Amino acid sequence: MIIKSVTLNNIRSHVRQKIDFNKGITVLSGDIGSGKSSVLLAVEFALFGISDSGSGLLRKGTDEGSVELAFEVNNNEYTIKRVLKRKSDGVRQTNGYFITPNAKKDLTPVELKQAVITLLGYPQESLNKKSLIYKYTTYTPQDEMKQILYQDKEERINLVRKIFGIDKYQRIIENSAILTKQLRENKRELLGKISDLEIKKNNLLKIKEEKEIFSKKEKEFEIRLNEIKVIVENARKKLFLMETDIKKSHELKREKSNIETTIRHKEEQAVNLKKEIEKMESEIKSLKEKANPEKLTELNKKIKKGIREELFNLEKEQLVLQKQIGELEGMKKHSESIKNKILGMEDCPMCLRKVEHTHKETISLSENKKINEAEKKLAEADSKILEIKKKLLERNSELHQNNEAERELSVLSLQIRNISEKETNIAEKKENISKLQSEIKELNEKNSKIQLISFENKEKEYEQLRLDFEKIQKDERVTELEKTRITAEKSNSEKLEISLKNEIEEKERSKIKITELSALEGWIQNNFINIISMMEKHVLSSIYFNFNDTFKEMFSMLIEDERLVSRIDESFSPVIEQNGHETEFENLSGGEKTSLCLAYRLALHKAISEMISAIQTKGLLILDEPTDGFSSEQTDKLKDLFEKINAVQTIIVSHENKIESLADHIVRIAKSSHESVVLS
């Protein structure tokens, strides 16, 4: 990876600044606090984002900032941009973009990080945490390198494992221990399951014996039940025949009783009919005395025809006359109104001229003539109405008399018809009496033929047979219930047998499983873990020798005192010797501590670059104030050291002028009015 340029917008003390980079050694030079390290933080932010608030990066007093990084990987150019925005709950990352040789994509902060770690060949676990490879081999902020040297041995070697990606072996061993523990727990659980295996086998034998006993009893009850069923069927047939005879006798009794009842009913009907005939004959006699032919003739003479039609015509004529009177009165009032208006009028409403007196008299005379004619006609109409009213009174009186005669005639006619109906009814009743007498005779003959048989002894025999039948049925039900109970017991035994067989089979499989788990546990503990441990030791040993040789060489290049040497022990901890005696890191001078940290850091960088071929940052080295406490001679030795590292691109942040002599390119940064600017 080669950084081409970085553009900072409202990042810490940088308002709007673009810095270009080239291959070789580039020094970011400037006073302490001028904003040099902010450029390195911006590069890291552009690549990996931030895991928490970005308030430390966003310039104070601004609401939005961004970093755009242009870089090259395998001769392909890429550009990534990340954005920070100040919101109510703090500073947050928002969507940015990633430009590849093929396309420009708008991505979320997480998607940007995923794209970068994939491109750089970093492990996927770097997505959820800070990349250790970048932190310890590409760019370590000032003073953070010392932290690894202050850690205890276990923490340090675990960190080395993570940096080189061989912590997976330790995880495999730890997971193997978890697995063997789980295997032991599974074995204990299975042993608990098979603890009663022999008891279950004995129970199965007992269940089989019980099932045989129940099968034998079931057959015995089956035979007994079939015998009882035959007895029950014979008794049922005998009982049915006897019930049939008794039922026939009861039916004859009912039939004789029904005939006698019918005879009595018909005799009563005949008596009642005779009484009704006598009553009707008496009524006919009385009616004939009232409805004589002379009275009928007299009533017919009283009734006049056409009275109603004459009344209708008179009423119609009266209505016509009343209508004429209404029209005449209307005409009279109209003429009077015209006369009164014309007499009181001075000017014509149409032409607005004065109305002459002669014209008024002419109109008045014309209207008086109309009024006189109307009054004459009204008098004639009133006279006719009086005549009509008189006639209507006379005709209504005649109509009343006529209605009375018609009503009396109607009653009389009805009585005459009633006499005829009663005579017809008497004839029908006499015929019914004759039929009833004939039916009574036939019923008496039929009743005399019915011969009742005595079943007193049969009924006693039937009752005893019924009691015996019920006793046999009860015995049948008891036997069936006992057989059902035994069948159910047998069925339960069979189900229990199947259940026990399944349990025993399951326990036998568990027994085999225990053997398999024991074998697997033994293989993991005695073989697999040892193999993984040997693999880890082999890989770690390879790293160690490479790392130790590089570290010793670089440390010796930086230290002027030949009596001070250092090496790496098996826990990757620096062992410092002075005059042949070991000494602690705290006892070193500032320059010596810086030399040790720088040698450790560069050794890590070289080892990672040589041993992990997939990562794309091995040609990039970023150093933040690497010469703190160095003498002038030590600073001069850095050139040889960088040649040894042979990085494609090295970026150094320093406030010391001496280091500029090592640079291929120099970028000077200064601060003015709280704003960082690039001078050249």
Domain ranges of the chain: 2-151+559-678, 291-419
Contacts of 337 (CB under 8 A, 6+ apart): none
**Hey, what are 500's tokens?**
């026990």
**Hey, what are 254's tokens?**
């009912």
One-letter amino acid of 243: E
**pLDDT value of residue 304:** 58
Residues of the chain with pLDDT under 70: 51-54, 126-127, 131, 141-145, 287-305, 347-352, 355, 405-406, 408-409, 411-412, 415, 451-458, 680
**pLDDT value of residue 374:** 81
Which CATH architecture describes the domain 291-419? Orthogonal Bundle (1.10)
**Hey, what are 585's tokens?**
């890191």
**pLDDT value of residue 82:** 95
Angle at CA 73, nearest 5°, toward 67 and 76?
95
**pLDDT value of residue 302:** 55
**Hey, what are 323's tokens?**
């209508």
**pLDDT value of residue 430:** 80
* Dist CA 215 CA 191 (whole Å): 36
* Dist CA 14 CA 12 (whole Å): 6
pLDDT digits (tens, 9 = 90+) for 577-628: 888 888 888 888 888 888 888 888 888 888 887 777 778 888 899 988 888 7
Q: Which residue has the tokens 């693999």?
A: 535
**Hey, what are 247's tokens?**
């039922």
**pLDDT value of residue 234:** 87
Q: CATH number of the domain at 2-151+559-678, please?
A: 3.40.50.300
pLDDT digits (tens, 9 = 90+) for 289-304: 666 656 556 656 555 5
What is the 8-class DSSP label of residue 524?
I
**Hey, what are 661's tokens?**
């002599």
One-letter amino acid of 146: K
* Dist CA 288 CA 321 (whole Å): 53
* Dist CA 251 CA 257 (whole Å): 10
